[in-house]
Amino acid sequence: MNISSSVAPTLTMDGLVLETPLLLLDEQRMEANVARMKRQIERLGVSFRPHVKTNKCIEVSRLLMASDDGPITVSTLKEAEYFASKGVRDILYAVCIAPNKFEHALRLVRQGVRLKLILDSVEAATLLVEFARAQSVVFDVLIEIDADDHRSGLKPGAGEVIAVADLLRDGGLSVAGVMTHAGSSYECDSDAALRLMAEQERLAVVNAATRLRESGHPCPVVSVGSTPTALFAEHLDGVTEVRAGVFVFFDLVMAGIGVCKVDDIAVSVLGTVIGHQPEKNWTLIDAGWMAMSRDRGTSRQRVDQGYGLVCDMQGRPIEDLVLIGANQEHGIVASRSGAHPSSYLPVGTQVRVLPSHACATAAQFPCYHVLAPDQVVRETWNRFSGW
Amino acid sequence: MNISSSVAPTLTMDGLVLETPLLLLDEQRMEANVARMKRQIERLGVSFRPHVKTNKCIEVSRLLMASDDGPITVSTLKEAEYFASKGVRDILYAVCIAPNKFEHALRLVRQGVRLKLILDSVEAATLLVEFARAQSVVFDVLIEIDADDHRSGLKPGAGEVIAVADLLRDGGLSVAGVMTHAGSSYECDSDAALRLMAEQERLAVVNAATRLRESGHPCPVVSVGSTPTALFAEHLDGVTEVRAGVFVFFDLVMAGIGVCKVDDIAVSVLGTVIGHQPEKNWTLIDAGWMAMSRDRGTSRQRVDQGYGLVCDMQGRPIEDLVLIGANQEHGIVASRSGAHPSSYLPVGTQVRVLPSHACATAAQFPCYHVLAPDQVVRETWNRFSGW
């Protein structure tokens, strides 16, 4: 493959040369990823509450939502606020709420957002009940269940599950149900392990829901979610909804555990060659960790893809170029196999770098440059950031 | 130490509860850090060209600059653009320029910015000369020298140093001098090693400058820079200016190599406890990698500080709590020594988390919440991001 003949020298938009680094979003790949998830959700017979923390963009999220009303999952109240400003109403804030966010949650509810909060302790439930009583507001609350010892949540069999539900109900709040996130699925390394993890995630919430119902709590919502478990679940009996986010773009971590192919990854960082260190066979590009993020998620996988896998302008990996190092605005590209001397990519050549972790890389950029199926960029879609 | 008695329950601004996570900037610590660098620069008898990539904020940068005109160092042309809009005119863009940024550099020069560009190859020099000739513009160019095999630049003794200078001069551009950055100083682990690295950095550019002068190039600018070498240089004979950036805030990586004390670190992420996993002795907070960044710079140091060191509201480390894990909006706090059970920090407690890498953590936030010497937040200072 001769890079000089296979790539356009520079990417343009409206006839103007685009400055790098920038974040390319391959529309065709994204649409295929969304279609795949929707087919799976349909087959499972549950509802879908996409997690928008990966994309933080109304144009992308509209492709995922069942309607303009939602439903969606968010990771911050700023996400809730932004999507509410775009007309979304059915929003689950999927991080246990801190007391300093109660006022913000209240404002959202008073704006007409059907906001669902989560928590996993008597402590937090007590504080929320006090606040809700003082403000005469009814919050919908889901109890977070720990399916896999990964992070937060109560064990499905813990006495505190019932204690929290009783406390919320007696305090006048609405016990909307249970939710869990099997974050350990990101570390599974075979289809069989992914199927087992999906089943473990399902069982955890279904068991907690059963216990709650036996204690007199209706528990209408039984929510699970992660991209790997959503795609590998064989059935979701007893579950009412699935949440997932990263599937819309996928990334090298997901490819590394076999949830997608490298060719499915829909976001890439466009960078430009700025120099070489021929003695070390290094090519320097203008995409460092400020562009890629510091995520090194593949370092624990079978194939370590460094700070990203280097592709040509059509998004095809240039075997075997990876970003082996990253400073703030410098990326160091090297050939793992030694097949490509550093002169392979002359100064000015543009490359697309696939990210380890789409959520982290996309968060470094103010917008997506949308690459249409004809490989032309005609529009940008804004992202938001911060809290 | 009893956390409940030593901390205010929540931080407020103008009487309103502040939502977490947010980025606190301790004004007093920052001012002490700036004073320390200025004393050192004065002692060395060189001029100072602060690197503003760490702070990306005019209020912070004004404390560093010799005058409103500059000089400053930037890592992106967006930084140059932003600071130019605030009246700064003397700007060094310290990343080898990519051809797709020539137009942008030209616009800045035509706006009256005294922009200095860098490059490290005949390839790049040829492209820049072609562009400058076509546009009838004279760019000031410094040749990047590699002092420590760290990243980019030409070796001081390389024939290409003279070839690039000749090419630039013959092409009508101004050969402003040489510059280097001893990035390896971040990996030094003793004062002696830091002093040696500072001397190695000095020698590299002074040697290159001598060779250029012998070849008929005046080489007025001889520029070095990194926070560790700037602070540990014993003398800088032959050098005209020093660049440094992270010293303004410092961070755990700098403390780990002995360049500062942990108590000098001026930025911290304010987070709030949202839950516990008592069986694992974990405390969950609402500051994950989206707030801290994914930087794990201390993982290669003698003391691994995880994703950050947890402090009370006065910024004093709570021995021995660290952020051992981070998901997008969740941080997992645990006691390394086992001295503190997870119940030590009740739900709603606020903590300040010191970052591994100030440049990376600050980049995750839209603004600084400035903590005045009386520990009250009265104002925010905006940061900018993107390219």
Q: Copy the structure tokens of residue A375.
A: 């490989």
Q: Across the interface, which of B151, B284, B329 has its CB nearest the CB of A330? A: B151
pLDDT by residue (tens digit) across A28-52?
Answer: 999 999 999 999 999 999 999 999 9
Residue A8 has pLDDT above 90, yes or no: no
Q: Angle at Cα A187 formed by Cα B283 and Cα A45, nearest 5°? A: 95
Q: Across the interface, which of B75, B294, B366 has its CB nearest the CB of A295? A: B294
Residues from chain A contacting residue B149 (CB–CB below 8 Å): 280
Contact A152, B273 (CB under 8 A): no
pLDDT value for A340: 82
pLDDT value for A9: 59
pLDDT value for A10: 78
H or E segment and range at residue B225: strand B221-225
How does the average pLDDT of chain A come out, rounded? 95
Measuring CA to CA, which residue among B113, B107, B110 is closest to residue B92? B113
Is B275–A329 a contact, with Cβ atoms under 8 angstroms apart?
Answer: no
Which chain B residue shows the shortest CA-CA distance from A330? B95
Residue A1 has pLDDT above 80, yes or no: no
Using 70 as the pLDDT threshold, list the residues of chain B that sit under it.
1-9
Secondary structure of chain A as H, E, C letters? CCHHHHCCCCCEECCEECCCCEEEEEHHHHHHHHHHHHHHHHHHCCEECCECCCCCCHHHHHHHCCECCECEEECCHHHHHHHHHCCCCEEEECCCCCHHHHHHHHHHHHCCCEEEEEECCHHHHHHHHHHHHHHCCCCEEEEEECCCCCCCCECCCCHHHHHHHHHHHHCCCEEEEEEECCHHHHHCCCHHHHHHHHHHHHHHHHHHHHHHHHCCCCCCEEEEECHHHHHHCCCCCCCCEEECCHHHCCCHHHHHCCCCCHHHCCEEEEEEEEEEEHHHCEEEECCCHHHHCCCCHHHHCCCCCCCCEEECCCCCEEEEEEEEEECCCCEEEEECCCCCCHHHCCCCCEEEEECCCHHHHHCCCCEEEEECCCCCEEEEEECCCCC
> How far does the CA of residue A290 sit from the closest CA of chain B (Å)?
7
Strands of the A47-48 sheet, one edge to the other: A47-48, A241-243, A221-225, A174-180, A140-145, A114-119, A90-93, A72-74
Q: Across the interface, which of A120, A149, A295 has its CB nearest the CB of B275? A: A120
Residues from chain B contacting residue A287 (CB–CB below 8 Å): none
pLDDT over 70 percentage in chain A: 98
Measuring CA to CA, which residue among B269, B279, B274, B284 is closest to residue B354? B269
The DSSP 8-state label assigned to residue B89 in this structure reads -
Q: How confident is the model at residue A6 (pLDDT cuts 50, 70, 90)?
A: very low
> Which of B347, B356, B357 is most worth mutating to test chain A (most A CB atoms within 10 A of its CB)?
B347
The Cβ of residue A46 has, within 10 Å, a number of other Cβ atoms equal to: 22
pLDDT by residue (tens digit) across A252-301?
Answer: 999 999 999 999 999 999 999 999 999 999 999 999 999 999 999 999 99
In this predicted complex, what is the ipTM? 0.96
The string of DSSP codes covering B170-197 is HTT-EEEEEEE--GGGGG--SHHHHHHH
pLDDT value for B9: 60
pLDDT value for B189: 87
pLDDT value for A189: 87
pLDDT value for B4: 42
**Segment A345-356 mean pLDDT:** 97
Q: How confident is the model at residue A358 (pLDDT cuts 50, 70, 90)?
A: very high
Q: Across the interface, which of A121, A146, A274 has its CB nearest the CB of B97? A: A274
Strands of the B174-180 sheet, one edge to the other: B47-48, B241-243, B221-225, B174-180, B140-145, B114-119, B90-93, B72-74
Q: What is the C-alpha separation between A42 and B322, in angstroms, rounded?
A: 43
> Which of A95, A128, A364, A380 is most worth mutating to test chain B (most B CB atoms within 10 A of its CB)?
A95
